[in-house]
Every structure is written in structure tokens, then in C-alpha cells.
Amino acid sequence: MIDLTADCGRCAALCCLALHLDAGSRFAIDKPAGAPCPNLDRTGQTHGCTIHGDLTARGFPGCVAYDCAGAGQRITQELYAGKSWRTEPALAAPMMESFRHMRAIHEMLQMLDAAEALPLGAADRAALREHRDHLARPMTPETAAAAAGDLPELRALLRGLAGALGSAARAAAHLQPAPRISTSWEKTARSPEHGHYSARHRTPPAGELPGRPDRRSGR
């Protein structure tokens, strides 16, 4: 069973490495994708955040809001057998690339779960379950990259199903990632400078930021 909830204690702090931060109301600093956050444990041996208990007060509410949808621990444990870019720096680039792929895969898994609530016929429901099983199967970095490449086609399939229901707008609303995931302020794109990806924040949803798992306290 794939866990779509972040378990930071089983992740190699991939978001603290891979995301691009823009200084502003969500983050106190600028940080390019691929640069370890300076607030990470300075020994380089753990994945703990040295300001974990004080993130919002120190100007990092975006870190509290961010949720990788369980992609981080799946990459660390399943794709890289518990290894870390901190102790094996050569893994930084491939783990970042896997993060980009797996984040998209887990967002799709959330949408497929949400689609279960739609009034689909048996054949369509079975087809979506087959796609879900495909994305939830044990993966390698290579198969994750291939699966991510298939996502546009799957998104088109979901859009088609939503449209065929006759209430496209309502159906489409059900096919968004779960609201607890802060994708409204994150987007990913190729970064020519770093050859990987960046995630820049946009304005977060109004209201209180959701809490995040207690993952950065001295791992």
C-alpha cells in the first residue's frame, strides 16, 4: 500500500535539497534547486532541520506547509534503498530527478483516489484501478521516470472521463490533489542552470497553514 502522506523521518530531506526557494513571505532566504538548505544539520550526517521547532517564527512557514505527498520517503526507501545524498553526494542529482518524477506520480495517485468517488462505469473504474496499481508497483529510478512520462496521457484520460460525466466542472474539482497538499504554491519546471528542477512558491491558500509531520527534529 503506497502511503500518500509525507513521512519525513524516512526521507533523506529531499525537499530541503531539491526545491528552489524564493525569499519572501514563505521563505526567509533565496535558495536554488540543488543547493542544500543552510538550515540542515551541519554535520552532514543526518537530515534534521536545525530550526525545526521554530520554522514559522524564523521565516519559513512554506516549509511547514509543504507536503511531498509521500514521494520523498518512497524515493529514499524504495528507489535508493535508504541511501542519502548527504553521505553519498553523487546521489544528489539522481535523487532530485527522481523527486521530480515521483512527486508527479504521487499527485496522480491522489487524483486517482479522488476519482473513485465519481459515478464511473465498471469498465472505467477498473481501468483507473489498473493505472493506480501500475503507479503503486515497486519502482526503480528508471521505471519511475518512464511512469512519469506517461502521466500526460493519464491526465487526458481523467479529463475525458470527467467531461463525459456531463458535469465537467464539478467532476474536475474532484480530480484535484487533496487540499492538504500545498501544490497551490508549488510548481515544477526544468532548471537550465542546474539541470534538474525548481519549485517556486506562489501565494498559499488563505487560512491557517496545515501542520507538517515532525520530521526535521534531529533525524
Q: What is the contact surface with ligand SF4 in residues (CB under 6 A)?
A: 16, 37, 39-40, 49, 51, 60, 63, 216
Nearer to ligand SF4, 18 or 118 (CB): 18
Cβ burial 36-71 (10 Å sphere, 16+ → b, else e):
bbebbbeeeebbbbbbbeebeeebbbbbbbbbbbbb
Report which secondary-structure segment, H or E, holds 93.
Answer: helix 92-115
- Residue 9 CB, shortest distance to ligand SF4, in Å, is 13
Give the contacts of 91 (CB within 8 A, at least 6 positions apart). Answer: 80, 83, 84, 85
**Amino acid (1-letter code) at residue 40:** L
Nearer to ligand SF4, 39 or 183 (CB): 39
Nearer to ligand SF4, 40 or 108 (CB): 40
Nearer to ligand SF4, 152 or 218 (CB): 218
Report which secondary-structure segment, H or E, holds 198.
Answer: strand 196-200
- Residue 58 CB, shortest distance to ligand SF4, in Å, is 7
What is the rounded distance in angstroms from the CA atom of residue 130 to the CA atom of residue 123?
11
- Residue 89 CB, shortest distance to ligand SF4, in Å, is 17
What is the rounded distance in angstroms from the CA atom of residue 11 to the CA atom of residue 135?
19
Nearer to ligand SF4, 171 or 183 (CB): 183
- Residue 68 CB, shortest distance to ligand SF4, in Å, is 12
- Residue 214 CB, shortest distance to ligand SF4, in Å, is 12
* Cβ atoms 217, 48 nearer than 8 A: yes
